[in-house]
A and B are shown apart, each in its own frame.
Chain A
Amino acid sequence: AQSVAQPEDQVNVAEGNPLTVKCTYSVSGNPYLFWYVQYPNRGLQFLLKYITGDNLVKGSYGFEAEFNKSQTSFHLKKPSALVSDSALYFCAVSSRYSSASKIIFGSGTRLSIRP
């Protein structure tokens, strides 16, 4: 069965500092991995995805994520945080061997950037 773990409910970072939001996954076969962001009273917005190839994936708003197969991780990173990055972040996984439509989301991590 597919699963995603986001071990931190909340991450607090000072503006200008690097940030990391952690994600580990469990899936049969090779995974497809995603990060989504949710602002208050809004739906989820796609940030980036890993399908295959280069382990470092770059996405929207300066975010990037590194796929680590041996650690089954896909941590979201940004070199310099902005106050506007404060939001709820969801990691998600699907498997190319499962149904063509099902994505499993993690429990979310609330990112808070202080000025």
Chain B
Amino acid sequence: EPEVTQTPSHQVTQMGQEVILRCVPISNHLYFYWYRQILGQKVEFLVSFYNNEISEKSEIFDDQFSVERPDGSNFTLKIRSTKLEDSAMYFCASTEGAGNNQPQHFGDGTRLSIL
């Protein structure tokens, strides 16, 4: 079964540094998402992306965050100047079609540790 893949599995970064998290969604999927899960807490929506544009973003997704689909396969999340509170698991997800009734396919996540 096709999978969403994320790299790296673990990223350690100094506070204030930029970090890029990478995702390869399922190949025929068109809608892409990033979520965050702080240790022991719920999964939080960050942003959705379709047709090279952000569809929706949460209040967490401030000016320090950006997303990009630089080529036909990768979908990236950039944090410009990391803070300690950015430490979390970051999950990428994708869906084939639009609509709130589509189950999302998740990658295994990137654990981001900010020192």
Query: With contacts defined as CB atoms under 8 Å apart, how many contacts are there between chain A and chain B in the complex?
Result: 71
B23-70 residues with Cβ-Cβ distance < 8 A to A are: 31, 33, 35, 41-45, 48, 50, 55-56, 58
**Across-interface contacts of B41 in A (CB, < 8 A):** 107
Q: Which of B43, B50, B98, B101 contacts A44 (CB 8 A)?
A: B43
A interface residues, how many (CB within 8 angstroms): 26
**Across-interface contacts of B98 in A (CB, < 8 A):** 100-101
The answer to whether B100 and A44 touch across the interface, beta carbons within 8 angstroms, is no
The answer to whether B56 and A102 touch across the interface, beta carbons within 8 angstroms, is yes
The answer to whether A101 and B31 touch across the interface, beta carbons within 8 angstroms, is yes
Say whether B104 faces chain A, with CB atoms less than 8 Å apart.
yes
**Across-interface contacts of A108 in B (CB, < 8 A):** 42-43
A53-108 residues with Cβ-Cβ distance < 8 A to B are: 90, 94-96, 98-108
Say whether A10 faces chain B, with CB atoms less than 8 Å apart.
no
The answer to whether B108 and A43 touch across the interface, beta carbons within 8 angstroms, is yes
Residue of B6, B43, B101, B107 with most partner-chain A CB within 10 A: B43
B interface residues, how many (CB within 8 angstroms): 28
**Across-interface contacts of A101 in B (CB, < 8 A):** 31, 33, 48, 50, 55-56, 98, 100
Residue of A42, A43, A95, A96 with most partner-chain B CB within 10 A: A43
Chain B residue, CB-CB nearest to A45: B106
When chains A and B are docked, how far (Å) is the Cα of A43 from the Cα of B58? Answer: 20
Residue of A41, A49, A102 with most partner-chain B CB within 10 A: A102
The answer to whether A43 and B4 touch across the interface, beta carbons within 8 angstroms, is yes
Chain A residue, CB-CB nearest to B111: A41
**Across-interface contacts of B35 in A (CB, < 8 A):** 105
Chain B residue, CB-CB nearest to A33: B101
Known: A43-B4, A108-B42. 7 other contacts (CB 8 A): A94-B101, A96-B100, A99-B100, A101-B56, A102-B45, A102-B56, A106-B42
Closest 9 CB pairs of A and B: A43-B106, A101-B48, A94-B100, A46-B103, A105-B43, A107-B42, A44-B106, A43-B108, A99-B56
Please report B residues at the A interface, Cβ cutoff 8 Å: 4, 6, 31, 33, 35, 41-45, 48, 50, 55-56, 58, 91, 93, 98-101, 103-109
